[in-house]
Amino acid sequence: MSQTVADLRVERKPKLSETVVAAIRKQLLAGEVPPGQKLPTEGQLTETFGVSRTVIREALAKLAADGLVEARQGAGVFVSEHISTTFGVLAADMGAKDSVALNVLEVRLAIEIESAGLAAIRRNAAQEAAIQEAFFEFERLLLASQPTGPADLAFHRAIASATNNPFYVEMLDVLGRRAIPCDVTSPWSTELVQSDEYQRGLQREHLVILNAISAGDAEAAREAMRTHLTRSQQRYRERLQARQAYYANSLKAASTE
């Protein structure tokens, strides 16, 4: 059997344990269980997630491998102490103000540039496929005139994941939630974000990154990611100004009524 282009879009069904890992990780990063605190028992998690204990155990093992939790036989599974001192504090301090958002975006830039370089070196086949998958998904959504935000996020997340350093993913999760501008509901972004030209440009930049990573060229990958993100920064700034102008106008309009 030959390999077609479609095969590259590996739509590999995620393992149950991966779903559980994602869910628990999200909760932990959100600080729903304080560090040092005990997680629900495997039995309880079995009920809440509706899967067998095997799956729960595999998920917890993965989280333990990432250093997020520690299991103590006879006692329970506990959230690692350091995790939230690293990321919780950070998340707590970040207000949603714009000046902050720009600064956060800048930190994210640092993280992602290095991610791209490491991904080029360390990625495995599945991880590379995941990046490609996100790329094609973006393409598909673009052709279907649907919001591409999720695919964009997935693309960057897949790259972070390909570093094989879980902290990069976590950083991106924490930072990205605030910094990624994909607010399709707001009036100032619909025009900009959803314009085909805008998204085509994004996709062109994505392609350069993807090629560099596939080629295993760390230097090129970093450079491609740098130009992509600095341009995104620029676009974000422009959008902020557009929004301010919009508000100014609506205020003026309201006052004249």
Partner DNA sequence: TATTATGCAGTTGTATGATGACTTTCGAAA
Partner DNA sequence: TTTCGAAAGTCATCATACAACTGCATAATA
How far apart CA 130 and CA 9 sit, in angstroms, is 8
Choose among 92, 84, 67, 76: nearest CA to 38: 76
228 neighbors 206 (Cβ within 8 angstroms) = yes
Q: How far is the CB of 40 from DNA (least distance, A)?
A: 7
Positions that interact with its own copies (CB under 8 A): 17, 54, 57-58, 61-62, 64-67, 70, 80-82, 84-87, 89-90, 93, 96-97, 99-100, 103-104, 106-107, 109-111, 113-115, 118, 121-127, 164-168, 170-171, 174-175, 178
> Measured from the CB of residue 90, what is the shortest distance to DNA in angstroms?
24
Contact 204, 154 (CB under 8 A): no
Question: Nearer Cβ to its own copies, position 12 or 140?
Answer: 12
Size of the site for DNA (CB under 7 A): 23
As given in the structure block, the two tokens for residue 104 are 């956060």
Residue (5 or 143) nearer to DNA, CB:
5
Q: How far is the CB of 85 from its own copies (least distance, A)?
A: 7
Query: CA-to-CA distance for 168 and 54, rounded, in angstroms?
Result: 28
Per partner kind, with CB cut-offs from 5 to 8 A, the member of DNA, its own copies, none near residue 205 is none
Contacts of DNA in 15-74 (CB under 7 A): 15-17, 39, 41-43, 51-55, 57-58, 60, 71-74
> DSSP secondary-structure letter at 182?
-
Q: Which residues contact 200 (CB under 8 A, 6 or more apart)?
A: 142
Pair of tokens at residue 207: 């392609």
Strand, helix or coil for residue 145: coil
Closest CA to 114 of 233, 230, 226: 226
Binding-site partner at residue 76 among DNA, its own copies, none, CB < 5 to 8 Å by type: DNA
Q: Taking CB within 5 to 8 Å according to partner kind, which of DNA, its own copies, none is near residue 236? A: none
Site string for DNA, 67-106 (x = CB under 7 A): ----xxxxxxx-----------------------------
Work out whether 2 is an interface residue with DNA (CB under 7 A): no
Looking at the Cβ atoms of 76 and 201, the one nearer to its own copies is: 76
| 55/142 with CB nearer its own copies | 55
> DSSP H helical segments within the chain, as ranges?
5-8, 16-29, 42-49, 53-65, 81-93, 98-122, 125-143, 149-161, 166-179, 187-194, 196-214, 218-256
Binding site for DNA (CB under 7 A): 13, 15-17, 39, 41-43, 51-55, 57-58, 60, 71-77
